[in-house]
Amino acid sequence: MSRKTRVSGVGLLVLAALSAPAWAGKRDLGRDVLAPGDGWAAAGPGTTGGAAAGPHQVYVVGNRRELIAALNDGVPSSTSPANPSAAPKIIYVDGIIDANVDDANNPLGCDDYAAGTGYSLAAYLEAYDPETWGREVRPSGPLEDARIVARNRQQARVRIRIGSNTTIVGVGKEATIRGAWFDLRGASTTNRRGNIIIRNLTFEDTFDCFPAWDPLDGAAGNWNAQYDAISLRDVDNVWIDHNRFRNVTTADDLLPTHFGRKYQVHDGQIDITNTSDLVTVSWNRFERHDKLMLIGSSDSAVADRGRLRVTLHHNLFDDIGQRAPRVRFGQVHLYNNYYRIRDPANYSFSWGVGIESQIFAEGNFFFSDHAVTPDRFIAVFRGTALTTVGNLHTGVPARRPVDIVAAYNAVNDPPLGNDAGWTPTLAAGLQPAWVVPQTVLSKAGPMDW
């Protein structure tokens, strides 16, 4: 990259008016806009992100401090401001950005966040052991208060608020966001945000140092973590494309067990809730995660009616335990996704049919062995209908068409209806299911550009 200027005191690179990036002559993903017809995010005004950015709102960032400054007109801040800039901006991520760092980019660990709070995991486990605390009341008292203080310290570092009219794109295939929570959040009536593009990044190891024990969650209790890799609340027109989502140092199979339950430090990878609308999630790789994606967070959130319109297409769901996605209220179009289920012991379901959900699933491809039969692809949570068209399931010996609703109804009562009540029209690039595995495996995830 040549002819670049620095913002004084921040260190991020701002491309001057005549700057020529190192990738000059190649396709510039930062100026891309969502094509017409490419899913729900193409509806309404469409999704252009920061494509209209002037030369002094185009940044190259390589650490947390630079990223926060770029999101706020070049103004540095120790924490991510609650009202990020809405000016059109393009942010190129070059290298690895770790969110669990101090202002000097020195790494911070869980012990650093807990220091001085009075919290330790050992003391927490002793205090709230179900054998002594019981299973009828959630944790409370000084140690639970200390856990919340420590959690909030971590949250102040990992939470990155994204404003409207923003494109964030990784440079090359190795650009990585590690440990961060991208929080896309407006207000439902007064200050909605939107027109945001997030592309070509690897989101890695978004984790909570201080998950909460809830003895009332399920029959045996559960550990519940904060922080999604990306969360959407009260935002419109968002395109999440060609990213990779994975856990490496915090992978589930490396986590310990406490109180007979996995000490879960992950929440979702993408959650779309609180009246968010017009979202396309395309060409991403989701790898080895349990609860992946919520679309709608509560059965009582009736303001979500008529919203939560989301398209998921050409994504790889690789050994995902559940919620790919789990839907409430929204009209959700799932097409040409590849579901690869190679760990039957940790598989629950793929499509969660929640209250008033309207899922239209077509041209998807499921790979599993005989241990996972098509009736298990669906779980029903007060939903009543699901449209499925042209989906395939490969087991042994060969791929075969499958009526997933009929398979579910054959072993469940009451039956699920087979008409979600709408037909999608925004389905650019829709392909027959048989080409999906090769297409998705070769093209999904970050691109080298």
Positive or negative, the CA dihedral 248, 253, 258, 259 is positive
- Determine contact, residues 401/390, Cβ cutoff 8 Å: yes
- Determine contact, residues 89/59, Cβ cutoff 8 Å: yes
Tokens 């609650």 belong to residue? 82
Please identify every residue annotated as catalytic.
Answer: 323
Sorted by sequence, the CB contacts under 8 Å of residue 239 that are 6+ apart come out as 34, 38, 41, 47, 49, 196, 197, 198, 199, 279, 280, 282
Sorted by sequence, the CB contacts under 8 Å of residue 349 that are 6+ apart come out as 322, 323, 376, 377, 378, 379
| Tokens, residue 354 | 């929640």
Sorted by sequence, the CB contacts under 8 Å of residue 30 that are 6+ apart come out as 50, 51, 58, 90, 92, 167, 169
Sorted by sequence, the CB contacts under 8 Å of residue 420 that are 6+ apart come out as 331, 357, 358, 359, 360, 385, 386, 387
Q: How many helices (H) and strands (E) does the chain have?
A: 7, 34
CA distance 271 to 289: 14
Sort strands 166-170 and 212-214 into parallel, antiparallel or unpaired: unpaired
- Determine contact, residues 94/61, Cβ cutoff 8 Å: yes
Sort strands 277-282 and 257-258 into parallel, antiparallel or unpaired: unpaired
